[in-house]
């Protein structure tokens, strides 16, 4: 009899339970892992690198970790083929020019029409020349003109023909004349003869500066082009009928000339229009510095130079009616706009500064601009004529003339603008003011009481002016200084009422004379502009202040 024995399972130990838990967690994490991405076909694999290394080892006999040999000089590339084109070699000696052109057009595959006016012979040696250059050489030697018309090359003699050019310039002739004169005259007379003779002497000194500018644009233009054509016509008897016809109102110029002459005229007109259309904005500021006691000798420009400013002194011809002045160029590079206000604030170091005027004006190249801000002060002059009648009476005729004297600022500027924006200025600022009046009366015309009946108060005018020629770059500031003036203010102060008593009033009053010295400083800043619109410097920075409108203005 067989006996089956069943054993009861033993309990799981703690270590087995922990190992079982870790196994389950590992299986779960393995199930959540992403499958690896396939490797790109161009990726370098280990097998490919091993194969390359093995081949290199087999070839060079070195180990896998060796550095490959450096690359030596590569072989030179073959020369680049020249661009396809038609090149011709022409060697002729005293051959009729029409036959040469016909053969050249046949080889080039061109349609050509040769006019009957083509004549003469040709001598030329041209090797591997392009067709256009070869035709230019033939035209220059034989006096021909080539033009394209309906895929055909037209060849004709270079006879004069008319062409009209547009000249955008105003129809106006201007003449400007400036004159500055200073004279000193001392005259004496007396008697020194032994009998009853007389002797006289005088000392007369006069200096005069006259500047004239005549701007006859159209007359000079016609004369210059006529001279250009006449010079070229002197070498060819067949070109004697060239002429120049201007239309000043429509700003047109018709020229009858050859093709070669038209090229010269076109180049000349391009340079002329480019030069005459240049314009410059001139900013001027005229300031008066009431010098303090420490600077009675004038503005010390070296003080500003020690503060980081740069000034360059220049000697300029002076006006003899005033004391010498100094021209200084402001070259402070820290100010991109060359602000004159900065300089004026710096001048307050030397005393109180008062700006008399700050005009701005624009001018074309070689055109004089005149700015006048004055008060016309009126005074009268009398001319008395006396005529004795037959009855012994005297007839008196008085003619009165009204005269005016400008008091204020008058400035005339004539600029020349070079191609590289250098500005040459002929500037003449004039500042005048009345310092007193002189009473004038006729001593022969009196009233019943003996007092004069015709009295005229003629003003005494102080004039300070400079006339000079200077050169400055666009955007730089030029300063003209040194015009100094002494002023004495006579004042009488005292006890009220008592100081006005006759005879004894001086005992109750005293004099208080105040003297001051002022220096006139003129700033000039030329800025070369383009067409003067708001899109060109220096006006573009003001465009933001203009109203922005999207719709056009309509006028019903």
Question: Are the CB atoms for 115 and 155 separated by under 8 Å?
Answer: yes
Q: Can you name the residues that pair with 518 across neighbouring β-strands? A: 290, 485
Question: In terms of pLDDT, which residue wins out, 188 or 217?
Answer: 217
Nearest in space to 288 (alpha carbons), one of 517, 125, 42, 498: 517
Query: How many percent of the chain have pLDDT more than 90?
Result: 10
Question: Are the CB atoms for 385 and 395 separated by under 8 Å?
Answer: no
Q: Which pLDDT does position 266 carry in this prediction? A: 92
Q: How far is CA 193 from the centre of its chain?
A: 68
**Domains recognised in the chain with CATH numbers:** 87-158 (3.55.50.30), 165-180+207-277 (no CATH), 280-375+408-433+462-545 (no CATH)
Three-class DSSP category at 466:
coil
Mean of the pLDDT values across residues 379-388? Answer: 79
Q: Which residues lie below 8 Å from residue 539, measured CB to CB, with a gap of 6+?
A: 529, 532, 533
Instruction: With cut-offs at 50, 70 and 90, classify the pLDDT of residue 249.
Output: very high
Cα separation of 244 and 258, whole Å? 12
Phi and psi at residue 46, in whole multiples of 5°? -65, -35
Joined together, the tokens standing for residue 360 give 């701005």
Answer whether residue 198 shows pLDDT above 60.
no
Question: Are the CB atoms for 175 and 215 separated by under 8 Å?
Answer: yes
Nearest in space to 183 (alpha carbons), one of 372, 320, 361: 320
Answer whether residue 359 shows pLDDT above 60.
yes
Mean of the pLDDT values across residues 389-400? Answer: 76
Question: In terms of pLDDT, which residue wins out, 398 or 47?
Answer: 398
pLDDT for 481-517, tens place per residue?
777 777 776 667 777 777 777 777 777 776 766 777 8
Neighbours of 193 (CB within 10 A): 8
pLDDT for 254-286, tens place per residue?
999 988 899 999 999 999 998 888 889 888 888
Q: Is the dihedral of CA 308, 309, 314, 320 positive or negative?
A: negative
Q: Which pLDDT does position 50 carry in this prediction? A: 45
Residue that has been written with the tokens 């180049």 in this structure: 267
Joined together, the tokens standing for residue 80 give 């680049």
């Amino acid at each position: 009899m067989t006996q089956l024995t069943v054993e009861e399972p033993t309990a799981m130990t703690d270590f087995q339970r922990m190992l079982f838990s870790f196994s389950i967690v590992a299986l779960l994490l393995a199930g959540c892992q992403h499958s690896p991405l396939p490797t790109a076909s161009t990726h370098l694999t280990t097998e490919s690198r091993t194969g390359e290394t093995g081949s290199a080892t087999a070839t060079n006999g070195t180990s896998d970790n060796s550095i490959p040999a450096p690359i030596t000089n590569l072989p030179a590339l073959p020369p680049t083929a020249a661009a396809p084109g038609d090149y011709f070699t022409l060697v002729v000696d005293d051959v009729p020019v029409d036959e040469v052109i016909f053969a050249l057009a046949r080889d080039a595959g061109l349609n050509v029409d040769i006019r009957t006016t083509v004549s003469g012979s040709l001598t030329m040696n041209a090797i591997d020349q392009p067709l256009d250059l070869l035709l230019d050489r033939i035209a220059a030697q034989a006096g021909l003109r080539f033009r394209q018309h309906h895929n055909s090359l037209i060849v004709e003699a270079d006879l004069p023909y008319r062409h009209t050019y547009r000249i955008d310039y105003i129809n106006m002739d201007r003449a400007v004349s400036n004159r500055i004169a200073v004279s000193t005259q001392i005259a004496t007379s007396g008697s020194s003869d032994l009998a009853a003779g007389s002797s006289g002497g005088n000392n007369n000194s006069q200096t005069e500066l006259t500047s004239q500018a005549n701007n006859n644009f159209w007359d000079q233009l016609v004369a210059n082009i006529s001279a250009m054509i006449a010079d070229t016509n002197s070498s060819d008897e067949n070109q004697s009928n060239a002429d120049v016809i201007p239309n000043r109102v429509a700003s047109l110029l018709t020229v009858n000339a050859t093709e070669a002459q038209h090229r010269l005229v076109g180049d000349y007109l391009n340079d002329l229009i480019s030069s005459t259309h240049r314009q410059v904005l001139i900013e001027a500021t005229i300031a008066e510095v009431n010098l303090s006691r420490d600077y009675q000798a004038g503005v010390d420009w070296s003080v500003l130079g020690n503060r980081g400013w740069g000034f360059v002194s220049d000697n300029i011809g002076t006006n003899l009616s005033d004391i010498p002045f100094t021209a200084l160029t402001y070259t402070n590079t820290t100010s991109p706009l060359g602000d004159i206000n900065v300089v004026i604030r710096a001048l307050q170091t030397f005393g109180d500064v008062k700006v008399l005027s700050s005009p701005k004006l624009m001018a074309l190249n070689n055109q004089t601009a005149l700015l006048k801000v004055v008060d016309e002060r009126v005074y009268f002059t009398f001319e008395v004529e006396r005529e004795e009648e037959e009855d012994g009476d005297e007839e008196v005729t008085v003619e009165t003339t009204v005269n005016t004297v400008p008091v204020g600022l008058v400035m005339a500027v004539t600029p020349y603008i070079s191609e590289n924006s250098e500005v040459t200025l002929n500037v003449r600022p004039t500042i005048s003011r009345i310092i007193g009046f002189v009473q004038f009366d006729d001593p022969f015309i009196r009233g019943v009481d003996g007092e004069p009946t015709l009295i005229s108060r003629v003003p005494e005018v102080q004039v300070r002016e400079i006339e000079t020629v200077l050169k400055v770059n666009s955007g730089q500031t030029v300063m003209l200084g040194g015009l100094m003036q002494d002023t004495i203010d006579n004042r009488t102060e005292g006890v009220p009422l008592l100081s006005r008593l006759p005879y004894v009033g001086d005992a109750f009053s005293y004099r208080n004379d105040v003297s001051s010295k002022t220096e006139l400083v003129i700033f000039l800043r030329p800025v070369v502009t383009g067409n003067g619109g708001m899109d060109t410097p220096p006006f573009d920075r003001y465009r933001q202040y203009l109203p922005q409108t999207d719709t056009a203005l309509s006028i019903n």
